[in-house]
Amino acid sequence: MNYRLTLPNGADYINTFGDRPATVLMGSGQFAPCFEKVLLGLKVGEKRSALLSPEESFGDRKEELVQWVSLQALKEGRDEDVEFNPGDVIEFNAPSGAQYAGVLQSINEEGAWFDFNHPLAGVAVNFEAQIVAIM
């Protein structure tokens, strides 16, 4: 399928139209349930779009997900000469072994502020999809 996520200002966040189509295994967790819901019932060649509120898509922004990380914790398990800059997306390992990522907001010699919200949290998005083939 081809799909596009468009922001309220009209800018594309993701756009596979005119590029290589995406392959999605429905119900596998590859694609968010809100997007799968839009795809249900579509046949090859059909196109559908839906405006999804933050609650329906990536959720509301949560200020408690903006958190301080010590410089020691930030550098743990990384190369000695690694550099960090505001705007970088940094991955962390949870004690359970799972990975999560945050956007570096600011940094100093003691630590850094990270935003662990999804980049589209709090944003309504338009989801448009066209089925290219069903396997």
Task: Name the residue range of residue 53's domain.
Answer: 2-59+120-130
Task: For residue 80, tell me if it sits in a domain.
Answer: yes
User: pTM for this structure?
Assistant: 0.75
- Say if residue 43 is in the same domain as residue 6: yes
What value does the mean pLDDT of the chain take?
92
The number of folded domains in the chain is 2
- Say if residue 47 is in the same domain as residue 69: no
Name the residue with tokens 């779009």: 49
Task: For residue 135, tell me if it sits in a domain.
Answer: no
Contacts of 114 (CB under 8 A, 6+ apart): 66, 67, 68, 69, 90, 102, 103, 104, 105
- Say if residue 54 is in the same domain as residue 69: no
The pLDDT confidence band at residue 113, using thresholds 50, 70 and 90, is very high
- Residue 77 belongs to domain with CATH number: 2.40.10.330
Q: What is the pLDDT of residues 61-112, one digit of tens each?
A: 999 999 999 998 888 888 888 899 999 999 987 778 778 899 999 999 999 9
